[in-house]
Structures are given as structure tokens and as C-alpha cells.
Amino acid sequence: MDEKEQDIIITFATLLMHSVADVFDISRIREIIGDNPVKEIFLETEKKGFFGKKMAKTLPPSFIPALFSDAVKKIIDILSKSFGFDFTESHLEQIYLELEKQYSVDFTGRIIMPYIPESFLERRRIGYLSKEELEVRVLKKTQELQRLNNDLENKIKERTTELANLLSEQQKAAKMLIRRDLELTRANEKLQKVDEIKSSFISIVAHQLRTPLSGIKWTLSMLLGGDMGPLNNDQKTFLMKSYESNTRMITLVNDMLVADGIQSGKVHYGFKHIDIIDLMDNVLFEVSPQAAKRNILIEYKNKFENLPQAYADPETMRAVLQNLLENAIKYTIEGGRIEIDVKQEPDHLVISIADNGIGIPKDQAKDVFVKFFRARNAVKQETDGSGLGLYIAKSIVEKNGGTIWFDSEEGKGSSFYFTVPLEEKH
């Protein structure tokens, strides 16, 4: 064996030891070799200076045929006995081709192999199996893949069924919602028709009642004035009660007409700048007889000087003031007190009317502005009443660009507040 061939064999033997034993340290290789005949080959390899060189440069592909010489077969036999592997020439060729470009040794003597490809390791393991063992392994892998595939198919079927059921439930729910919405729409249309019929009926009846009631009031006024001759005290008392009842009926009819007009949008608003104190004085003059009859004091909390004009419809705003003041008079105990206040804010006025009357039950406060609502203590205090006054007041205030609210405690009185803008908000 010439020197070049010997170098090739030595290099391959070193590489072969490394690849089979998976040893990365030269000291570990020495320990494994011991007194093995390969020791001489290993020591010779160190002398030849192969360590630290890439095997692709040290062992050119042109020398691959020489790997299968008798000398290499002897080394294979030694290595097979030492490490317990049964190598063939095809195994060795594959090992060499896989590792020749990755094997090197650094200057410290440590063998460097960046990585051993998993594909190579797997092929190396498989390469040592018998045909029967390979068939068993392939069968197991096939069965495992089939099991995984069956599991996946079952999961897909289960999920598909779940989604189908969910979709079916959603479709049922959607149909129910559509049906319910249609039913509600039809019910709402019926209610609107009923409401329109009711409004028309109220409007017709109210208009038909207003004319004869006005005639009755005019007649009673003439009788009380002595136009039909002198009356004794009993006659005057009887006629006065009739006159008061007639007046309440006219007020009720007017309230119903106003409420109907608000709901149907028939109320006309003529917005302009107004003096809210002048308007308040006029309303106070109208309601003062009612207050005097019950010995109720009405007064302003402060003197109002240099107040700016409000921007509102004077006629409807008069109705708001009248409703709030009449309610305060009606539900304040005899000898009570009503206080009026006006405060200026940057863009509006705040008017408040406070009394020390019966107040509003806390559990019924939320319904105060509802049409036709009357609190239970109000019904006991004053059986007559339409429950429309505060509904009308709220609607008018909001139409004028303001807001209305109240504070109240049952048995201690109520304070109603509303705002009126200083400039146009419509």
C-alpha cells in the first residue's frame, strides 16, 4: 500500500470512527480505541496533520473507489467488532458522502461537526435494519397515519355536525325574530290606528262640548250678576257651584284640545323675544283669586332687575306658567306659601316655582310627566283633575328649546324648574 493510499485509509478510518461512535473529542476517541489495532491508524492520522482540515479538501472525490480496497475492509472488520455494527460498502459510502463536507478538527484537538442531519441519522438507523424489521416499521407508521387520519376525519365530521346544528338553530332564531318583528309591526300599526281614532274622537267631543259649555258659563255669569233679577243667598250659592263646575269642565276640554294638538303637531308656535317677568305678572293676576280663596301667599324670592329677554312663544309659555302655578295652589295646604324665582345663566333663564304642599310620592315620581297620570295623594287631595297639566307643560317647554324637572318630598312640598333660552334654538 503506497503512502497516498494509506493517507486515504487513515483519514477515512478517523472519519468513520467519529461518525459511528458520535464522539466529538479526540481524548474520548483515544479512550475508546485503547489497545485496538486502529490505534496505530489514529496516531498516524495525528502525525499526518489531517486534523483541522475540511475532509472535502483532504479526501477528494476521485479517491472514493480506493475506499473499497482490502485494507479498508480490514478496518471495517475491526470497527464492526469494536462498535457492534454490521457495515456494508454502501453504508460506508453513504456515511462518507454525508459527512465529508462537515467534519473538521480545531487546533485544540476537538473534533468539530456543526450538525448531523436528522435525515442522515434516520437513514443510518434504517440502514442497519433487516427487511422484516423495515416492513414492520413501515406497517406501524402506516397504521399510525391511518389512525391519525381517521381521528381527523371524525373530528371534522363532529365539527361539521356542530356547525350545521348551530346554523340550524340560528336560522330558526332568525325566523322567530322576523316573525316577532312582523307581529310587533302589525300590533304597532293597530295601536297607531286606535290612537288616531281616539285622538279624533277626543278632538270632536272636545270641540262639540266647548261651545255649549261656554254658553252655559255665559248664562250662569249673567244670573250671578243679577241680570235676571235679584237672587237670595241659597240661589247664589247653588249658581256659584254650578259656575265653578262649568269652569272646570271648560278647563278640562281646553287641556284635552291642547294635548291633542301637541301630539298631532297642530299647535302653532310664534317664537320671539319676551319679558318673562311681565308674562309671570299677568299669570299671577289671573290665578290670584284662587290663591286668595285658600289664603295662600305667592311671592317672588328676589327682585329681578336687568334680566335679559327670553326667546319663546308667549302664548304657550303662559300655559306652562299657569299650569305650574295652578298645581301649586291646588296642592298646597290652606295658609301655605308659594315662592317664585328666576335665575340667569349664560344662555338661558331658569324659572322655579316652589310650594310647601303635599309633595309627590317617591315611587311615583317617574310618571309625573306622563299623560293622564295623577299621584295617589293628589287624587285624595283634589278629586277633579285631568292629569294633563304637567304633560302639556313638559311638551311646551321642550318645544320652546328648554328642559323641565322637579324636586319633591312627600308631605313637604315640590319645586318645579324649567329653562327658557335667551336666543333662538329652533
CATH number for the domain spanning 288: value is 3.30.565.10
Does 260 reside within a domain? no
**What confidence score (pLDDT) does residue 90 get?**
55
Query: What number is the average pLDDT over the span 164-186?
Result: 88
Domain boundary residue, one of 109, 128, 147: 128
Which band of pLDDT confidence, cut at 50, 70 and 90, is reported for residue 304?
confident
Does 389 reside within a domain? yes
Which band of pLDDT confidence, cut at 50, 70 and 90, is reported for residue 58?
very low
Is pLDDT of 181 > 50? yes
34-48, 116-130, 278-292, 339-353: range with lowest mean pLDDT: 116-130
**What confidence score (pLDDT) does residue 172 get?**
86
Does 183 reside within a domain? no
Domain boundary residue, one of 95, 128, 161: 128
Domain boundary residue, one of 128, 147, 177: 128
Does 390 reside within a domain? yes
Does 184 reside within a domain? no
37-41, 123-127, 202-206, 404-408: range with lowest mean pLDDT: 123-127
Does 81 reside within a domain? yes
Q: How many domains does the chain have?
A: 2
**What confidence score (pLDDT) does residue 366 get?**
92
Share of the chain above pLDDT 90, in %: 27
Nearest partner of 317 among 265, 368, 282, 369, judged by Cα = 282
Query: What number is the average pLDDT over the span 367-394?
Result: 84
Does 230 reside within a domain? no
Convert the pLDDT of each residue in 80-130 to its tens digit.
Answer: 555 455 555 555 555 555 444 444 544 444 444 444 444 444 444 444 445
Convert the pLDDT of each residue in 343-363 to its tens digit.
Answer: 999 999 999 999 999 999 999
**What confidence score (pLDDT) does residue 97 get?**
53
Which band of pLDDT confidence, cut at 50, 70 and 90, is reported for residue 134?
low
Convert the pLDDT of each residue in 215-239 to its tens digit.
Answer: 888 888 888 888 888 888 888 888 8
Identify the domain containing residue 336 by its residue range.
Answer: 272-421
Convert the pLDDT of each residue in 256-276 to its tens digit.
Answer: 777 777 877 777 889 999 999
Does 239 reside within a domain? no
Is pLDDT of 342 > 90? yes
Reduced 3-state DSSP string for the chain: CCHHHHHHHHHHHHHHHHHHHCCCEHHHHHHHHCCCCHHHHHHHHHHHCCCCCCHHHHCCHHHHHHHHCHHHHHHHHHHHHHHCCCCCHHHHHHHHHHHCCCCEECCCCEEECCCCCHHHHHHHHHHCCCHHHHHHHHHHHHHHHHHHHHHHHHHHHHHHHHHHHHHHHHHHHHHHHHHHHHHHHHHHHHHHHHHHHHHHHHHHHHHHHHHHHHHHHHHHHHHHCCCCCCCCHHHHHHHHHHHHHHHHHHHHHHHHHHHHHHHHCCCCCCCEEECHHHHHHHHHHHHHHHHHHCCCEEEECCCCCCCCCEEECHHHHHHHHHHHHHHHHHCCCCCCEEEEEEEECCCEEEEEEEECCCCCCHHHHHHCCCCCCCCHHHHHHCCCCCCCHHHHHHHHHHHCCCCEEEEEECCCEEEEEEEEECCCCC
**What confidence score (pLDDT) does residue 320 get?**
94
